[in-house]
Amino acid sequence: MKCERDGIVFFQLPEWDPYGLTVHGFFGRVGGVSPPPFNTLNIGASSGDDAQHVAENLSQIARVTGTQRDCFVFLRQVHGDRILYVAKDGARADDGTILDSPGDALCTDRTAILLAVRTADCLPVLLLDPLWPAVAIVHAGWRGTLKRILKGCLREMSRLFNTRPEMMRVGFGPGIRSCCFLVDKEVADRFCDAFPNDNTMVSSAPQGKWRVDLYRANTATLLEEGVRKDHLFYEPLCTCCHHDAFFSVRGDGGITGRQISLVGLKAARKVEMNFF
């Protein structure tokens, strides 16, 4: 669902959280103060944009979500499969990054914290355990997808929060889709090897390239782990096709900004089992 507040455009998945437990959103590139080629809502601290522009963009996002900028928690994303638990604000850099903490997924059961990832084609994925309750956010690029980062996140939440996969609700934000995600044969073969039971995940493309469906690959991982198909929700827009609305490394030719996706718990509430 597309939303707009004070000129800032973002997307939500109301069906993903029908209980109103979270603040969440997938933001695009529209509504901030950054100049080209980072126009305009860039939150990529290392993209080459001025740090003051990034800080102002984060402040505007905080106002739109009714939160504070110091609630944001970011990772130093490395295209891996490390998941970190956020127990409190902790020691963070000025841009919200957890100091000296590389990783690609965050989870928490605390309020007053906004877990965030930066993307520009990779998939942002939200996870909600409404029973504990607890949330997680995942940066799932093709490398993290092959490493089955969502499987690792589910198992870490099970360890920390007694999360049951069949109760987990998962929301996929805008990312590059198979129409635009072209790879060479080596990467395509890795996906075929990793997901041998799905012959539609990889398909041939012109000029010796191959199309890979990252949404399908991550969906397969979740279903294998016991997540219910009717608990999966998608924002279908392709960031590369719509690089006027989203930052896209491929669509913008490499030099571009980063958009933010975020999730946080509103309050310490529990959902009764008979809600399902």
- The pLDDT value recorded for residue 226 is 98
Please state the pTM of the whole predicted model: 0.94
Question: Is residue 152 assigned to a domain?
Answer: yes
Q: Percentage of residues in the chain with pLDDT exceeding 70?
A: 92
Residue-range definition of the domain harbouring residue 74:
2-177+227-267
Question: Is residue 192 assigned to a domain?
Answer: no
Contact 240, 120 (CB under 8 A): no
Q: How many domains does the chain have?
A: 1
For the segment 172-214, what is each residue's pLDDT rounded down to a tens digit?
999 999 999 999 999 999 999 999 999 899 999 999 999 999 9
- The pLDDT value recorded for residue 269 is 58
Tokens 């979270």 sit on residue: 22
- The pLDDT value recorded for residue 96 is 58
- The pLDDT value recorded for residue 70 is 86
For the segment 236-254, what is each residue's pLDDT rounded down to a tens digit?
999 999 999 999 999 999 8
For the segment 113-146, what is each residue's pLDDT rounded down to a tens digit?
999 999 999 999 999 999 999 999 999 999 999 9
Contact 239, 169 (CB under 8 A): no
- The pLDDT value recorded for residue 267 is 72
Query: Predicted confidence band at 87 (pLDDT cuts at 50, 70, 90)?
Result: confident
Q: How far apart are the first and last CA of the chain?
A: 23
Contact 237, 216 (CB under 8 A): no
Question: Is residue 84 assigned to a domain?
Answer: yes
Question: Is residue 208 assigned to a domain?
Answer: no
- The pLDDT value recorded for residue 218 is 98
According to DSSP, residue 219 is labeled: H
Alpha-carbon span 243 to 19, nearest angstrom:
32
Q: Percentage of residues in the chain with pLDDT exceeding 90?
A: 87
- Mean model confidence pLDDT for the chain: 93
Question: Is residue 189 assigned to a domain?
Answer: no
Contact 234, 169 (CB under 8 A): no
For the segment 36-68, what is each residue's pLDDT rounded down to a tens digit?
999 999 999 889 999 999 999 999 999 999 998
Question: Is residue 188 assigned to a domain?
Answer: no
- For residue 95, what are the contacts with CB-CB under 8 A and spacing of at least 6? 45, 51, 54, 55, 58, 74
Question: Is residue 17 assigned to a domain?
Answer: yes
Alpha-carbon span 48 to 271, nearest angstrom:
44
In the predicted model, is pLDDT for residue 80 greater than 70?
yes
CATH assignment of the domain containing 155: 3.60.140.10
For the segment 16-36, what is each residue's pLDDT rounded down to a tens digit?
999 999 999 999 999 999 999
- The pLDDT value recorded for residue 274 is 41
Task: State the amino acid at position 92 in one-letter form.
Answer: R
Question: Is residue 193 assigned to a domain?
Answer: no
More confident residue, 232 or 273: 232
In the predicted model, is pLDDT for residue 276 greater than 60?
no
- The pLDDT value recorded for residue 69 is 87
- The pLDDT value recorded for residue 177 is 98
- Which of 119, 83, 125, 86 lies closest to 104 in space, CA to CA? 83
Tokens 């499987």 sit on residue: 151
